[in-house]
Every structure is written in C-alpha cells, then in structure tokens.
A and B are shown apart, each in its own frame.
Chain A
Amino acid sequence: MENIKEYLKAERNQEWRAELRKSMKAKERTGRERNDMLERDPNVRNKNIDEVNLGLTEELALADARRCIDCANPTCITGCPVGINIPKFIKKIETGDYLGAAVVLKETNALPAVCGRVCPQEKQCENNCFYTISLKKPAVAIGNLERFAADYERNSGQMAIPEVAAPNGIKVGVIGSGPAGLSAAGDLCKLGYDVTVFEALHEIGGVLKYGIPEFRLPNEIVDVEIEVMRKMGIKFKTNFLVGRTATIDELKEQGYEAFFVGSGAGLPRFMNIPGENYNGILSSNEYLTRVNLMNAANPDFDTPVLKGKNVAVIGGGNTAMDSVRTAKRLGAERSVIVYRRSLVEMPARVEEVKHAQEEGIEFMNLHNPVEYFADENGRVNKMRIQKMELGEPDASGRRRPIVIPNSEFDIEVDTVVVSVGVSPNPLIPASLPNLKMTDWGTIVVDQDTMQSSIPELFAGGDIVRGGATVILAMGDGRKAAAGMHKYIQEKINK
C-alpha cells in the first residue's frame, strides 16, 4: 500500500500536474457546477434500444475536469475497486490529452468504456470525492469523464494497445468471459502469461452481453474492448464449458499452470409461490438473454420472446430495472415494478430508477406477489399481490418488509419477469469435488489472493460474491491475477 501512495505522490509531483494546479485557483474550481451527460428524450427512447445516455461533449468534459482540484490525498481512488489513477486521467482531460487519459484508464481497467457506463460511481469513487466528503457538493463527474475518455479514444480510431511484458510461455486459463474473467485475463496478459479465456456461450462478454441491455451498454462497445484484448494476445474459446467439454485435470495435462474461475451467477432464483411455472412467467436472466444475446426482438432472428401488454417485474435491483425497461421497449402498455420494500431500500442505481420513472414505468413498492393464475392454455393472466410495510432493520441493514394481513388483491398480467436474485453457477464446483464451497454455493477464497482450496485455482466475481456489480467482479479479477502471478512465480522459483 505504501508503494502505491509513493507512486501516486510522484505522479502528482510531475511538472505538468503541478503547473496545471497552479493555472487556476482552487476556489475557482470548486465554484463551478457539476456537468451531467445529455440523455435521449424519455418518450422516444422507451420505444427503441438506442443508448439512453449520450455522454459528455468535449466542452462539458473540459468543464468538469477543471472542477477536480487534484487533491494531495485523492480519496476517490480508495472508492475504485480497480484502483484507477483518477486525478491523473482527469488532469489529462483538462490538458486536452484525451487519448492520454484513456491510456491512464487502461493501466488498471481492462474495460473503461464499460465501467464509464455501468459502474455505480455514486457509491464508489464519486462517493469518496473531496466534493462529496468535505464540500457537501455534487462530486466531480468521474464516471462521465471516464466514459468520455474511453469513447473519445474509440471514436478516434487510435485505440492504444496496453503494454505487455515479454511472453513467459506459461499457460493460464480463465474460465468465463464476463467482467471478472476479462479483468483477470487483461492483467495476466500484461504480466506476460499465455492466457486463454474459456466461455460456455457463443459470445464473449458474459453478463455484459446477455444481461445488460443495449440501451445501457451497446454490445458494440464491449466488442471493441474485447478486440483490444485480442490484440494484446489473449486467446478466446467460445462454446467451451470447463468441467464438461474438458475437465480442469485435462487442461492441466495440456500445460495450464493455474486457473481463474469467473463463471458468474447461475441459477435464477424463484419465489416458490403457487403458479410460478405457468407460461409467461420467466426469470430476468431468460428474458434479458433472449433479447440481448439472442436478439429475439428482431424479427430476422429465430429466438422468440413474449411481448407482453401487461408486464410485471418482481424485484428492485438493476436487473429488475433492465427487465422492466426492456418490456416497455418491446411494446408493453403497462410495465410495472413490484418490489416488497420502498424506493429508499431499492438496490438499483439511482440513475436506473430515475430513467425508469421518466420512461413511464410504474412502481408498486411495498407489494409482494403471493400467487399466479392462468388461462385455459396455461398462460399467466392474473397475479395476487399483498401489501407490505417496513419494520426493524434486518441483517442487510435495510428495514425488513412485513406483510399487512388481509391486504391481498389481484392485478392483470400476461407476462411476469422474476428478478429476485441468482444463485452461483453450479457447474464448475460440481466438477471439482475437493473445492471448498460455502453453504450458499459460492467458492471459498483467500480475501487477499482470491486463491481457493485448490492451490492452482483462483476465483472471483459472482461465483465468490453470490451477486455483485461489474466493477467489484473486475476488482476481484485484478486481485486474483496478482495472486496467480505470485503463486506461479513462487512455484517456479522453488
């Protein structure tokens, strides 16, 4: 940790940064208003899949970059799971060196254009910004600026390929190509390893592709970042299910020295209430996969998707917001969130809730489904809901929802998307009987190195956390890459 502090200090003391700080008084910087991204008109965007946020213009980006006072103690970095040198990239923007800003981002972040879009910055870097902590003012728009620099670089056609150490000829396997896996793969490649990423689906990107909708994260953006990783020398194998297509032992025989497991969240959770297996009731994973990965809403593609008129989405997380906003875009007349707590406890990002509200999504908070009914064809047509109220805080610190007796009533629905969480993917653990697991089906790892009970196996992301964000998964991937490097080097030098 001390090394990093020293490094950041030395970086900050570079002449260009010192000059830049002097060029404007801190008072002048802090007196400016925060600059947010432009957004598409809610009543237009809720009928198409175009990206909602339009990003910052160069002018707005410069204006917000000037707000950053380049603190001596940059607390924002402590809020970033992948440790981006935030003041440095922002100051690069201030000097107009946007491509240089992108290079800084890529030093520690394999997917800046993705993170600039989907990270909950308001809970991380921006929550630890000097403005938030000390001035009680809106934070520097760090997330918006990250996106600006990454987009600028992509649009410039001059994508920088991160520097890679001389190949050391050591083979490592990364299982799963979601944010955790890509992040681990990027770091391992930079260290000189011969990295192969194994993906069970036919596309690279994991949840970035099958889960997060086009209107929040266009697939093209993910593909461009993956292309950079290919150019770095990372190999990708799709349609390959480790544990099944080949076992870990077989891969070891092929020369793989260590593995990172980022196989993600698997089984969708259901509520186990009567009627939940009627047609028209599906998990958010299924709904979003059909639309995002399989392109089901496009008539030229073969995968079907139910386009409901009355759609209820159960849950209050980002995935629930993604589902309910997708339903609206597929033409739902009524698209409703049914959530058992209140708006305050909702785990979804504030921005997603705001966007959903603008787009005409209804919120039935403090409501919970108890039973479904179907027509003669087995298609759901009615949902019984009970009202809830909030009691004392539970283990999660949020106030516990309590049923209000005799408060049931029915609403008409033809499609229900259940988005109440996922359990870890069981396939990898099932193929490794010696792997130590928690009672919840997640892999047990060392907090610092992400090493599992099988020494050559490291893990991170949802398979360890049970369910988290893109950026926490990426942080795990980086940590694991460092852990794997240490493990392999110690093994070699023994």
Chain B
Amino acid sequence: MNKIVEKEFFSENVAKLVIEAPEIAKSRKPGHFVIIRIDERGERIPLTIAGSDIEKGTITLVIQKVGVTSAKLLALNEGDAIRDVVGPLGKATHIENIGTVLCAGGGVGVAPLLPIVEGFKKAGNRVITVLAARTKDLIILEDQMREFSDEVILMTDDGSSGRKGLVTAGMEEVIKREKVDMCMTIGPAIMMKFAALTTKKYNIPTEASLNTIMVDGTGMCGACRVSVGGKTKFVCVDGPEFDAHEVNFEEMMSRLGGYKELEAKAYEKYLKNAE
C-alpha cells in the first residue's frame, strides 16, 4: 500500500499526487516510470515519475483525467492509498553536457519533462524549455521549469498566456535563433510527432518519451510495442525514450486507440455509478 501524502489540483482535470514509495524515490532517475494499480479490481497503468523526495520517501505523479483509472485516481484524497506501485521502470534519460538542449512539453507531459530539464541543467547545459497547452489554466509547473531553464517559452492555442500558437512555433523560433544540439519532447503523441518533424528539418537529434498502453511494464506482455526505424520495440524495456525521428507515430496513435470503445463504455458506466 502506498499512501497519498499530498494532492493538488493544477486544473479541473489535472492533479499532482505525492505518494509514499521510499525505495522508488531512492532509485528513480529522470525518464523512469512506475506502474500503478489502484485497488484489487484496478488495471495496471504506467505513469512517468515527475519527481521524488528521498528524505520523505515520496514520488510525485501528475495525472490527467482521461478514463476510469485516472478518474478514480483523481477521486482519491490525502491519506488514501494506492494498492500497488512498482518501479522505477524503463531506461533513464541519457543526460550529459552537450551544449544547448531544447525541451518541448505539452499537456501533462510537462510533468515527466521537469526532472529531465533539471538533469540537463545540472549537467551544465543551456536549457530552453517550450511549454504548450490549450489555454492558460492548463499550463503546469511553470515556476519549477523556470528554476531549471535558461529560458521558458509559453505557447497556448488561444493566446491566453505567452504566445498564441503550437509548440512547434516556439521550437522553431529557438532553432532559427541559435544552435540547438539536441531536443527532448514529451506530450501527446500528435504533439511529439510534429515536434519531431520540426527538428528533423534542421537535423537536430531528438528524443521522445512515449506513453503507450502497458499491462505488466516489465517486458512480458508486448502491449507497448512501437515501430522505431522499422523495427518493433517495447516501450517498457527498450524505452520509454526513442529517437523521435524514427518513431512511427501514426502506428503509435492507432495502437493507443486499441481499446477505445471498451474504455469509453467503461467510463460511461463509471460516471453513471458515480452519480
């Protein structure tokens, strides 16, 4: 059992949960994820770790409500517990001093991007971070990002904060202005796809962190498979980060929808029961 020690809503459908997981707090590195199962009847879902506190023995997860499990998670309160948390899983981000790193995050992808931004900064890089969201209220962790970035550019679809436009506009502005040695992107698959297309034009090595469907998360089930450079890879053990220019995002998006109908039905049932 892993107790929730802190809960904070960033917006109506996005919240931060700080949960007790002392061993994971100690061993996790930027890029790692955990698999959680809320209760006896719950499903196993992967969540990328947004931070940890070794002394308190806690890890931080940021969750967006998209279906039954995320809705149940957001309905939990401080003092409640998550039955199973296992990790850290996946390969850690390869962090070194390479010069200038452009980090592009969208939606709740900004949360797992935070430790990576911190890591690159502490390794001596110049870090420029572009954060994108539909609207002002959905931008998360802006202050924390500013702490570890040399510059933060905000992009919103409606122009309510920062500049109006997509993440790619902010990225391109930086790339045209100065030499960028590598790019890191985390966000919705469609966003990462266009971020990758943007950096590809300029031949900037780019890594994307993929969040696919998983069951065990330890390399056993193969639910998370993606095509990278024409080869099948397992996100849970080979990733979650891959060369974004080689990822088949179309296939990934299609596979993310593999249980769409069942998930929609289950969510409907959940909302009805919650009434």
A residues with a Cβ closer than 8 A to B are 200-202, 210, 238-241, 244-247, 265-268, 270, 272, 276-280, 282-283, 285-286, 289-290, 294-295, 300-304, 306, 377-379, 425-427, 430
Contact = CB atoms under 8 A, between A and B. Distances in A.
B172 interface: no
B263 A304 contact: yes
Contacts of B27: 244-247
A246 B225 contact: no
A346 to B, nearest CB: 23
A480 B123 CA distance: 44
Nearest to A243: B27
Contact of A282 (B23, B223, B257, B263): B223
Interface in B202-251: 215-216, 218-223, 225-227, 232, 234, 237, 251
B153 interface: no
A276 B41 CA distance: 30
B257 A377 contact: yes
Contact of B222 (A286, A294, A301, A302): A286
B76 interface: no
B240 to A, nearest CB: 14
B84 A282 contact: no
A286 B221 contact: yes
Given A244-B89, A267-B222, A304 B259 contact: yes
Given A200-B218, A378-B255, 8 more contacts: A239-B86, A245-B87, A266-B218, A268-B220, A268-B221, A268-B222, A289-B221, A295-B41
B109 interface: no
B68 interface: yes
Given A289-B215, A290-B215, A378 B254 contact: yes
Nearest to B26: A246
Given A283-B221, A294-B215, A302-B266, A241 B86 contact: yes
B41 A267 contact: no
B83 interface: yes
Nearest to A307: B262
B24 interface: yes
Contact of B43 (A245, A280, A294, A300): A294
Contact of B258 (A244, A247, A279, A303): A279
B42 interface: yes
Nearest to A278: B254
Contacts of A279: 254-255, 257-258
B218 A241 contact: yes
A200 B41 contact: no
B43 A283 contact: no
A302 B87 contact: no
B221 A285 contact: yes
24 contacts: A200-B218, A201-B86, A201-B218, A202-B84, A202-B86, A241-B87, A241-B218, A244-B87, A245-B86, A246-B27, A247-B27, A267-B222, A267-B234, A270-B222, A276-B232, A289-B220, A302-B41, A302-B266, A378-B255, A378-B258, A379-B258, A426-B219, A426-B237, A427-B218
Nearest to A303: B43
A268 B236 CA distance: 13
Given A241-B87, A267-B234, A302-B41, A425 B222 contact: no
Given A266-B220, A302-B69, A280 B86 contact: no
Interface in B33-89: 37, 41-44, 68-69, 83-89
B89 A201 contact: no
Contact of B257 (A277, A301, A378): A378
Contacts of B68: 302
Interface of B: 23-24, 27, 37, 41-44, 68-69, 83-89, 215-216, 218-223, 225-227, 232, 234, 237, 251, 254-255, 257-259, 262-263, 266
A272 B8 CA distance: 45
A266 B222 CA distance: 9
B218 A283 contact: no
B63 to A, nearest CB: 15
A385 to B, nearest CB: 21
A277 B218 contact: no
Contacts of A241: 86-87, 89, 218
A277 B220 contact: no
B165 to A, nearest CB: 30
B225 A427 contact: no
A286 B215 contact: yes
A238 B221 contact: no
**Ranked 10 nearest A-B pairs via Cβ:** A378-B254, A286-B221, A279-B258, A304-B262, A303-B43, A239-B86, A283-B222, A302-B43, A202-B84, A268-B222
Interface centre among A267, A295, A306 (most CB of B within 10 A): A267
A233 B24 CA distance: 26
A276 B223 CA distance: 12
A343 B262 CA distance: 36
Contact of B216 (A244, A246, A289, A304): A289
Contacts of B257: 279, 377-378
A266 B37 contact: no
A240 B223 contact: no
Contacts of A377: 254, 257
Contacts of B215: 286, 289-290, 294, 303
Contacts of B85: 239
A277 B251 contact: yes
B44 A304 contact: no
B53 to A, nearest CB: 17
Contacts of B37: 202
A300 B68 CA distance: 12
A154 to B, nearest CB: 23
Interface centre among A239, A265, A377 (most CB of B within 10 A): A239
A413 to B, nearest CB: 15
Contacts of B254: 278-279, 377-378
A266 B219 contact: yes
A244 to B, nearest CB: 6
Nearest to A379: B258
A301 B232 contact: no
Contact of B223 (A202, A244, A286, A430): A286
A303 B42 CA distance: 7
B237 A427 contact: yes
Contacts of A285: 220-222
A200 to B, nearest CB: 5
A239 B218 CA distance: 11
A200 B84 CA distance: 11
A373 to B, nearest CB: 14
A202 B222 CA distance: 18
Nearest to B258: A279
A427 B218 CA distance: 8
